[in-house]
Amino acid sequence: MRPVKSMIDFSIISQTTDMMNLAHWRLLVTIAETGNVSRAAERVGITQSGASQAVTQLEAALGVQVFARSRREVTVTALGEKVVEHARAMLLQLDAIRVLADDSRGLNQGRIRLGSFPSVISTLLPSLTRTFRQRHPGIEIVALEGTDEEVEDWLASDAIDLGVVLNPTAERNALILGRDAWMGLVPSTHPLGRRATIQGIALSELATQPFILATGGCAVNGQRLVESAGLKLVDVRITVRDWASACALVREGMGVALVPASTLPDDMRNLRALPLTSGIHREFGLVRSQAGQNSRAVSAFWEATASSI
């Protein structure tokens, strides 16, 4: 009988790195530490489905089962323990190389002050800052939350190094982080919600309805959009700052709302999101203050962000 192999060829790991990026190897180690794919995916900054797919791809490339899965937990197999051990060592060595490189560039310490309005702070920035901290552990990032108008004031006064601004003009040399469409949000039982999604909805139709005004901490909100179209909201029932609160109130049938597509909840029960016939979008970009333009740490963050979007 042929002896069972107790070791695997770890040279295969170097071949697999062509397919798997560092986030996947960090995911592998994090799953082993947490025993949970969802929590590990959140820490690394990818979706749960993406994490599951990455693990499947890695196991297929290695030709071994790294994890044993059950309904309640994920455990590491005997061979998986050796894979995780090597992956952890590889990541530690990589971090050591980065620290050495940062020291040579004067990036072993520093602080970046970054201001943004709430919706971007909670959705987009966590993954960007997490990745940067992994690459440059000696640089501290301080995130400040404010309205878009406050962010503009902070940039002008050099109170922050970087700020996320709405609809930046070309002369500001902004690094565009994202763009999304404004959507009309109505209860699924509302007459406006029964139409085909592709048909869309006009601002004039929303403006006459009982309205939930959500600001998201931004001056550019539903009321501003309606007024820019020469219209007026005739029945504002309640004003909230948080997009999630507006969605919850619409779900309860208290009114309709205008929200950015990126802020729509995962659970759309009793809700209907309709595109605007006018096709209005918002764009948000990263802008450097005068102080930020002279900072090596800020330049490193700018370059890292540009390469990841």
Q: Which residues of 229-246 are buried (b: 16+ CB within 10 A; e: fewer)?
A: eebebeeeeeebebbeeb
pTM, rounded to two decimals: 0.61
Average pLDDT of 113-140? 81
Residues 56 and 70 placed together within one structural domain of the fold: yes
Phi-psi region of 158 (alpha: psi -120 to 50; beta: other; left: phi over 0): left
Check residue 213 and give its pLDDT. Answer: 95
Q: Determine the Cα–Cα distance for residues 48 and 30; give it in Å rounded to an integer.
A: 13
Residues 151 and 295 placed together within one structural domain of the fold: yes
HEC profile of the chain: CCCCCCCCCCHHHHHHCCCCCHHHHHHHHHHHHHCCHHHHHHHHCCCHHHHHHHHHHHHHHHCCCCEEECCCCEEECHHHHHHHHHHHHHHHHHHHHHHHHHHHCCCCCEEEEEEECHHHHHHCHHHHHHHHHHHCCCEEEEEEECCHHHHHHHHHCCCCCEEEEECCCHHHCCEEEEEEEEEEEEECCCHHHHCCHHHCECHHHHHCCCEEEECCCCCCCHHHHHHHCCCCCCCEEEEECCHHHHHHHHHCCCCEEEEEHHHCCCCCCCEEEEEECCCCEEEEEEEECHHHHCCHHHHHHHHHHHHHC
Name which residue leads in pLDDT, 236 or 99. 236
Check residue 41 and give its pLDDT. Answer: 84
Both tokens of 128, joined, read 């960007």
| Within-domain flag for 207 | yes
37-44 vs 22-34: helix crossing angle, rounded to 10: 140
Residues 98 and 47 placed together within one structural domain of the fold: yes
Residues 99 and 125 placed together within one structural domain of the fold: no
For 84-118, what is each residue's pLDDT tens digit?
A: 888 888 887 777 777 667 666 655 567 899 999 87
Asked whether the CA dihedral 267, 269, 270, 274 is positive or negative, the reply is: positive
41, 51 Cβ separation under 8 angstroms: yes
> What's the CATH number where 262 sits?
3.40.190.10
Residues 153 and 290 placed together within one structural domain of the fold: yes
**If pLDDT is split at 50, 70 and 90, which confidence band does 43 have?**
confident
| Within-domain flag for 2 | no
- Point out the domain boundary residue: 104, 131, 155: 104
Name which residue leads in pLDDT, 133 or 85. 85
Poorest-pLDDT segment among 10-19, 80-89, 129-138, 191-200: 10-19
Residues 187 and 272 placed together within one structural domain of the fold: yes
Domain count, the chain: 3
Residues 77 and 147 placed together within one structural domain of the fold: no
Question: Which structural domain, as residue segments, surrounds residue 77?
Answer: 11-104
**If pLDDT is split at 50, 70 and 90, which confidence band does 307 have?**
confident
**If pLDDT is split at 50, 70 and 90, which confidence band does 49 have?**
confident
Residues 172 and 183 placed together within one structural domain of the fold: no
Name which residue leads in pLDDT, 143 or 7. 143
Check residue 108 and give its pLDDT. Answer: 58
pLDDT at residue 132 above 70?
A: yes
For 147-172, what is each residue's pLDDT tens digit?
A: 888 999 999 999 999 999 989 988 89
Residues 66 and 81 placed together within one structural domain of the fold: yes
Both tokens of 239, joined, read 């004003």
Residues 120 and 161 placed together within one structural domain of the fold: yes
pLDDT at residue 4 above 60?
A: no
For 13-28, what is each residue's pLDDT tens digit?
A: 444 444 467 778 888 9
Q: To the nearest whole number, what is the mean pLDDT of the chain?
A: 84
pLDDT at residue 9 above 50?
A: no
| Within-domain flag for 5 | no
Residues 119 and 87 placed together within one structural domain of the fold: no
